[in-house]
Structure 1
Amino acid sequence: MVIYVTAKITGNYTSLLRIAVASIIGAIIGVFAFEKIFFGVYGVFISFLMLYIAFSFFDIKSALIFFMVIFILGGISFFINNIFNRIVWIGAVAYTENSLLLSLLFCILCVVSILLFFRLFKRLLIKKNMIKKINIGFEGKNVDLYALMDTGNLLLDPVTGYPVVLVFFEKIKGILPEPLKLFMESENGLLTTMDRKYKNKICLIPYKTAGDESILKGFRPDYVILKDNKERVIKNVIVAVVFKKMSADNEFEAVLNPQI
């Protein structure tokens, strides 16, 4: 079970046969575990061997997660057994009077709890590392946004070669002058009636999706400030607008180009 949970968390490939063989090796610990000293160097060595058998390689990350899962599973099991039954220690082995069905339910509860915990932890970690706060300035106005750093956004302005930041229109329209706002919303573009100073700011970016080709309307802002560990001002950048929300839970309103 520990190996299965470790594989799920790390994403390492394994098979039921490898898990079974590694588990049998691990069960050897139970045979000799009447001496607590066995849980020292030999216990660690056998744990490393189990990981190597299960994944056909060994790395520190997998080992750390493996031991973390052991401690969490052990803690949950000890807590539940302490509530429902008396625990008897013989050497380094703990014995309980649980039925097989109750023990299986405990195992399932432990596995589900750990997987949910690590999924939440991974989501929070990704959010912290991938979602950045940015500030876009144009014509004396600016707006703060949360943006996802997406390696899949490789859009470049075909004229200048500048990287493109995708922004939800509803979040950016407040800083746009009326002529630019009308241009973004209009299907025809209204270029003929637009002031020259705004025409020079406009960009048209072609893009392709599965089975579809289209044109994104964008503009060249005065600056984009990326607020990470320290603020970085970027001027050679294009902002393209989209009219659909990018995040169902509103975690971000823009998508950054990794070249920024």
Structure 2
Amino acid sequence: MVVYADMLFLENLLANCFILKLTSVMSGFPSTLWRILLSASVGSLYAVFAVIYQSNPLIASLLVKMLISMLMVLIAFRVRNTTDFLKRWGIMLLVAFMLGGCTYAFSGVLGESMLTYGGLMYISPQGVLKAFLFAAGLCIILVRPIGRILSGKAIREGNIVRVNVILGKRSARFNALIDTGNSLIDPLTGYPVMIVEAESVKDIVPPDVYNFFLSSKVSDGQIKDEINPSWKSRMHLIPFKSIGRENGILAGFRPDAIRVLHGNSFKELRNVIVGICGIKLSNNSRYTALIGPASLANI
């Protein structure tokens, strides 16, 4: 059988991007598009070399495959410690096994012949493309329920949690609604964004910064020079889309710490940006912030 390197690379690139994106959604660990593409490209290049040099048993060995998968995780996600790495790696393997297993099962049900070469499965039109598409659809349906089961968290959609934002010696406490609709990500760092009413953090930010957050200057997409340099390094401008607004800009900042009341104690969140909005988020003021599941993944 003739295997074209460009087609093999492209097929693996698309499949790897899909796996990494599902891993991000299932685990609640965000990732940027360029990281996913770079990681998927590494895995795809390995697949090409594994076929070209299939006579070399080392390249196709289980050890090398594990090392490549580990490298893909390190490239795709920001890893701060061993626990975070193992979570991401384990979920990525689970997603890959789930996708491959479902593809194999659907190929049998649909009566399509499985094409393999060099230990790799092909999803080209003459292979198991239809089965792969069915498997991908099933994985998309199952990804969030499985993610909730794996997380084992008591914190659920629609719950209101107590949040403490710490900045230097000051802190602000307010209630936040857990909202799966808030999937906002800072494109520079890949960190999830918690949307907070400006009034809730007014007492912990300098007046000039607070005024900038609420000014029309935010829409210019630049942090003005009059802002204190020590604060400019904390500030982020996050693009977003909403109903009636295609190209909005939300200003935010990176606090020293964010803690969420979970059970009887406060748990610290890592790598979360506080995005400031100038409108009311709740009609009855039960909450003044929206926090997405990705922000709570490390609790």
Normalising by structure 1, report the TM-score.
0.49
For the pair shown, which has the larger CA radius of gyration, 1 or 2? 1
